[in-house]
Each structure stands twice: as structure tokens, then as C-alpha cells.
Amino acid sequence: MTPENSPSPGTVDASALGLIPAPRTLTAAAAGPYPLGYRTPLTARPGTEGVARWLRATLGPPTGLPLPEGDGTGTSAGDGSGRGSTGQGIVLELDDALAPEGYRLAVEANAVRLTGGTAAGVFRGAQTLRQLLGPDAFRRAPLAPGRTWEVPPVVVEDEPRFGWRGMMLDVCRHFLPKDDVLRYLDLLAAHKLNVFHFHLTDDQGWRIEIKRYPRLTEVGSWRSRTKYGHRASELWDETPYGGFYTQEDIREIVAYAAERHIRVVPEIDIPGHSQAAISAYPELGNTDVVDTTALSVWDTWGVNPNVLAPTDDTLRFFEGVLEEVLELFPAETSPFVHMGGDECPKDQWKESPLAQARIAELGVKDEDGLQSWFIRHFDAWLTARGRRLIGWDEILEGGLAEGAAVSSWRGYGGGIAAAEAGHDVVMCPEQQVYLDHRQDGGPDEPMPIGYVRTLENVYRFEPVPPGLSEEAARHILGTQANVWTEVMQNRARVDYQVFPRLAAFAEVAWSALPAPADRDFAAFDARMRAAHYARLDALGVDYRPPGGPYPRQQRPGILGRPLEGEPPVV
């Protein structure tokens, strides 16, 4: 059932179980609760072996149950010990009649049967199974060894609304160590999200090792100090700041994501947001306008005037970067590569004789056309290598490359224009799903940025704007929430901004919900309070409590940039 429906005969009260995101249907099973014991087997039919490995590794520590390999008939090593029910145990299997990420989880008299359209569908169902076992199933060790575990008597039939359900994490403004990134992949998986947009380069730091250009990390990954708070703040942390992921780290992150059926979208930002790269290789900048050898990695926030020079040497440089990026992010995990394209001031190009000569040579109209030339070049380059370019909605300016997709961040407008023109779109308007924006209008919100976007506001976000033609709506790939980390200096601050709102966003992206005004937020909130906050507690997530921040989560006196009123719909 959906969260908007009340229980009826043959259905189950979703609030009591607290399933998030809400499944399409949730009904009562004919059989009673299914007990899990020490000898309960886990059978992986062909194609589900990876999910079985994940289930054992995830459920084993909190339950103490080994879930030995079974054959689907109840046979497993050591059967007959009397320590718990066996039966057929948990059975994982595929059924191509289901949607690719769809699944059916059914508690039967002698088995818990989890069937998916693909291994990804089985994995999404495994997340539901974990939730059904209760919040303690999200811990890393048993709270009460020997306790009884059972799966409640339900049948869940489910599939996602959107194929792109993502979160973007900025690790440039503030760096998160590799283990924190892996942890966020687990948190995305727990909420049935399937895209991790990895923002790896910006003015404030270059975070990915490129072996042919070692100065990108030797120089470009470190800044001498960091602004504390909004860019208008007078506070500074004078400690040199930096970090980057080695290529081995990146391979591990990508493999970890793949095991959780999460696609990784690496972002290499061009032609703006490039001062870290220019500080490492000054020839990349507009040397006929500024002394690029004097530039360092930027230590504050905002829109930076130092952009890439429109030269063939710049193109060759970033082709070299991308050759290594494509090797690290294989096509099966990363079909899309994000090339940024946002917030590229044109002042230096207007002043640069070289840039003006390039405009004339290319026959483009103006500086917007020059940016379009950058994006079109890499669209063709990536297409020739079996990948697709995606960029922020500014790439529409000057004309959009034929195969490019758009991340619509400045509002709905760019996404609407792109979709009506036949381009694929990911909706992520800052006014709705930028999770760095503050969660409340009270004085205790730490470093308050942007409009107030409460848990309920996020729950009422609608990725497909009204009035979009049916054909254009088919180009809405899905949606993602964006996490920019200017005022998030560590994992705890990221947790506070992201949760619990990511749970509401995940339901918007996954579940078949009514129109925004008709959504039953009270029922969603009841499910959060019944179980999901306890799951986040078990996972160690430092979320914003419903009653407001704890004293340790506040940052009194640190200047932010709050915006008042309702955000505009643009």
C-alpha cells in the first residue's frame, strides 16, 4: 500500500513497520512470521550471488546468524542442530517479468522468497528485508546474543518511479576521507538510491589523482587556509587544508558502489570552477589577461573569475585527464561523465585577445558560444568512447550538444527547456533539493544557508514539473539531491544537513506518490518516528533531530547566508 492509504483487510499498517521508501503494495502474508535461526540457509539462485554475499556480510554482525549456503530445499551445512528454524530459508532469485529494479518479497510458510527483475532488484528488496527485521539489524554487533529474529508476515511488491535516484556529494570545498565516502554509499543503498554524483574538482581543490599530471594533486589538492562560514564571514581556519583520492581509492569506491548497484557519475568541472587546476598548471588559464603563475588554490567560496583558456592545448590536457578518468570509472558503472559547465564568468574571455580570436575562428556568436564549443568538444569526445556527457543547465547557453544531458539546478526552467528540446534531464533545483540549505528558520541552525527546506518541503518536492508535455516528460531521467560542502567541514556536519531529509527525498524518487499537495506527510513522519530514526541511530548518522539541533550541532556566531520567504519556482 502507499503511505496515503489506511490499512484495510488483507493489508498491513505501513506506519508500524516504518518502511522507507514506501513500497507500491504491502499486504499480509497467509503464513505467520518467519523465524531466522542459526541454521537458516540463504539460497542464491544464478545471478543473485553478489546480493547473497552482501546479505551475509550485513546481517551477520547484528544478528549473529551465519546464513549458510542452501539449495532452496532447506538443506545446509549442519542442518538438524535444533538451533532455529530452517525450512527453505531465504531464497533469492530472478524473474525477468519484473521491472529491472522491481522486486517481490513474500513470506511463505517455509521460506522468505525474494525475487527481482535483475540483481539490482533483488538488492533493493534486500534493503526492505533488512528494514523488516527492525532497527537493530542496522547495527554492527548483536545487542542480545541468542535473541529471536523473525520476518513479519508480509508480501511486498515494489518498483521505482525513476531510474535516476541520486545524491551529489561535493568533496572539493571540504574533503571527506575514503571511508566516509564508502559509508555514504551504504547510506544511499539503504534508501534505495542508485546514483552517486562525485564532485571531484573545483576552485578549492582537485581531489582525484591523475598520474600524467601529478601537480593536479601535489599543488591543486591543497589550499593555504579555509573560510569558516559563509564567504562574507570574517573567520578563517589558518590550517593548510587538502586531500585527494589515489587511483586505488577511486577503484575501491567504484567497486564498492557497483556491489551495491550504484552508478558513479564523476564530475570534472570545466571551463569554470577551475582555479585549482590553473594553480597547478598556469598555462591552462588566460595568461594574456592575468598572471596565472600568481594564482593559488582558492581559499574562499563563490563564483571565481579565473576560467580555462579556450586553446587546443587546454583541450588536449583535459582529454588526458579524462582518459584516466574513464579507466577508473568503467562504462558499466559510469555511463555518464559530468563536465560541470556551471558558473563560468566570461569577463576574462571578453578581455582576452586570444579568446576573441578563437570566437572569430570558430564562427560562434559570442562568449556563450565559446563555452558551448568546450562542451560540444567533450560531448563528441566522450560519445566516441561510449560515454554520455551531462552538465549543469548553463550548458544550454550557446546551444546544447546533441547527445548531452542536463542537471537542472537553477530551477525547473533549464530542465524544461532541455526536455522539450529532446534532451535527457535530471531534476535537482536548488530551491527544493539543495541539502546545504537550512532545515528550519530558527536561530540555532548551524551556519544557515539559503531558503528553509524542511523535511516536509522535501517530501512535497515533485521532479516532473506540471505542464510538461508527455513526450518531454519521458526525458526526465529522475532526480537527485545535491550536497555542497562550503559550510560542512566534517562528516558530522554533512550528516546533519543530509539527514533526515534524504529519507524524504528517497521516497519522492522511488515511490508512486500523489501530487505534492495530496501527499500524507503525517503518515511519512509516523513511519520515520516508528522506525527510521532508530535505524539512523543504529547506523551512527548524526541527523538533525525533529525537535531541533543538539547544542553540539549548533554553530553560534558563524555567519551564514539565509534567504527569507518561500523559494521562487523558476
User: At 301, which amino acid appears?
Assistant: W
Q: Where are the beta strands (DSSP E) in 163-298?
A: 164-170, 195-199, 201-202, 205-206, 222-223, 226-227, 236-237, 241-242, 263-270
CB 433 within 8 A of CB 463: no
Pairing of strands 425-427, 405-408: parallel
User: At 165, which amino acid appears?
Assistant: R
Which stretches of 460-552 are DSSP H helices?
Answer: 470-473, 491-498, 501-510, 521-527, 533-538
CB 34 within 8 A of CB 49: no
| Nearest residue to 457 via CA among 497, 505, 407, 495 | 505
Dist CA 77 CA 495 (whole Å) = 42
CB 223 within 8 A of CB 204: yes
Distance of CA 123 to the CA centre of its chain: 17
Selecting among 150, 252, 343, 456, the annotated active-site residue is 343
Annotated catalytic, 93? no
| Residues in a beta bridge with 35 | 150
Selecting among 101, 159, 170, 202, the annotated active-site residue is 202
Dist CA 304 CA 500 (whole Å) = 32
Annotated catalytic, 299? no
The 3-state secondary structure of 297-347 reads CCCCCCCCCCCECCCHHHHHHHHHHHHHHHHHCCCCCCCEEEEECCCCCCH
Q: Where are the beta strands (DSSP E) in 110-218?
A: 111-116, 149-151, 154-158, 164-170, 195-199, 201-202, 205-206
- Rounded to 5°, angle at Cα 462 from 461 and 468: 150
Which stretches of 94-202 are DSSP H helices?
Answer: 119-132, 178-190
Question: Residue 392, Cβ neighbours under 10 Å: how many?
Answer: 24
Please state, in angstroms and as integers, the Cα–Cα distance from residue 222 to each residue in 205, 226, 244, 381, 464, following that order: 6, 10, 9, 30, 40
Distance of CA 328 to the CA centre of its chain: 19
Dist CA 409 CA 501 (whole Å) = 18
Selecting among 197, 230, 273, 532, the annotated active-site residue is 273
Annotated catalytic, 273? yes
- Rounded to 5°, angle at Cα 338 from 199 and 376: 145
- Rounded to 5°, angle at Cα 405 from 454 and 339: 85
CB 119 within 8 A of CB 126: no
Catalytic sites, residue numbers: 202, 273, 343
